[in-house]
Amino acid sequence: MKDLNTLVKKANPLTDSTALFQLGYGLYAVTCRENGKDNAMIANTVSQIGSNPDLLAVSINRANFSAGIIRRTGKLNVSVLTESAPFSLFQRFGFQSGKNTDKMAGLRYGRSENNLPYLTEHSNAYFSLKVEEVVETPSHLLFLCTVEESVNLSKEKSVTYAYYHASIKPKKPQSTEKKGWVCKICGYVHEGDDLPADYICPICKHPASDFEKL
């Protein structure tokens, strides 16, 4: 297999990164645990890649606190979020770091056989996963996992990334006073006329290509 870490991003007139926005994604709460502390994050890249046994692939930005925990412990849970999930849930799991925040505080949740939490509200199913292999890319870690436990919780409709942007995420007020660049993923604003080409969003960890000028 080619070493993906040797790939260097070069300008290519045949590629348009905005084409990636046309791909369909779901939204998931990924939970993990290390040294007695639970953590959680929002992910949009969870896919079934095999059956008998059931295999899932979960891609997580390597800059995320959860990525290190999952790599060290070799286990994670994935809760499938539903259209009833409020914006506050995405703020809790996606707009702050578990390094200095207890993201599970005040939430009602259950624990699976692997002792990891899973959501009992705004979720229609959960999976307990065991990491079998880790594939490294320059920006993400791809965890290839076997399913050790899977449970249907409700018949609520799963939320998609498109539904989140259209119906859950608050619309940003237009302003002509502030100059800068806004992240199209999470709404973070980087103030200033220039945005470095290697800039990474401090909230959702997406690159400069996912920013647009105010």
Q: What is the pLDDT of residue 182?
A: 86
Instruction: Give the CA angle between residues 38, 43, 44 to the nearest 5°.
Output: 165
pLDDT band for 12, please (50, 70, 90 cuts). Answer: low
pLDDT tens digits, 18-49: 787 787 899 999 999 999 999 999 999 999 99
SS3 for 150? strand
Residues 76 and 163 in one domain: yes
Structure pTM?
0.81
Residues 40 and 111 in one domain: yes
Q: How many CA atoms lie within 13 A of 43 on its CB side?
A: 29
- The DSSP string of 101-143 is --TTTT--EEE-TTS-EEESSSEEEEEEEEEEEEEE-SSEEEE
CATH label of the domain that carries residue 178: 2.20.28.10
pLDDT of residue 83: 98
Higher pLDDT, 5 or 187: 187
Task: Tell whether the model's pLDDT for residue 196 goes beyond 90.
Answer: no
Domain identity same for 183 and 160? no
**Residue 95 sits in the same domain as residue 196:** no
Which range is least confidently modeled, 132-136, 144-148, 176-180?
Answer: 176-180
Q: Looking at the structure, do residues 109 and 141 belong to the same domain, yes or no?
A: yes
Q: In sequence order, which residues have a C-beta less than 8 Å from that of residue 67 and are 6 or more positions away? A: 60, 61, 141
Determine the structural domain holding residue 66 and report its residue range: 24-167
158 shares a domain with 89 = yes
The percent of residues above 70 in pLDDT, for the chain, comes to 90
Check whether residue 142 and residue 177 sit in a common domain: no
pLDDT confidence of residue 15: 72
Pick left, alpha or beta for residue 186 (phi over 0 → left; psi -120 to 50 → alpha; otherwise beta): alpha
- Same domain for 206 and 179, yes or no, is yes
Q: What is the CA radius of gyration of the chain?
A: 18
Both tokens assigned to 107:
């939430």
Q: Looking at the structure, do residues 130 and 191 belong to the same domain, yes or no?
A: no
213 and 149, same structural domain? Answer: no
CB of 40 closer than 8 Å to CB of 66: yes
Q: Which of the pair, 19 or 56, is modelled with greater confidence? A: 56
pLDDT digits (tens, 9 = 90+) for 142-161: 999 999 999 999 999 999 99
Considering its fold, how many domains does the chain have in total? 2
The enclosing domain of 110 has a CATH number of: 2.30.110.10
Task: Of 145, 65, 61, 79, give the one whose Cα is nearest residue 116.
Answer: 79
Q: Are residues 158 and 179 in the same domain?
A: no
Q: Cis peptide before 53, with omega less than 30 degrees from 0?
A: yes
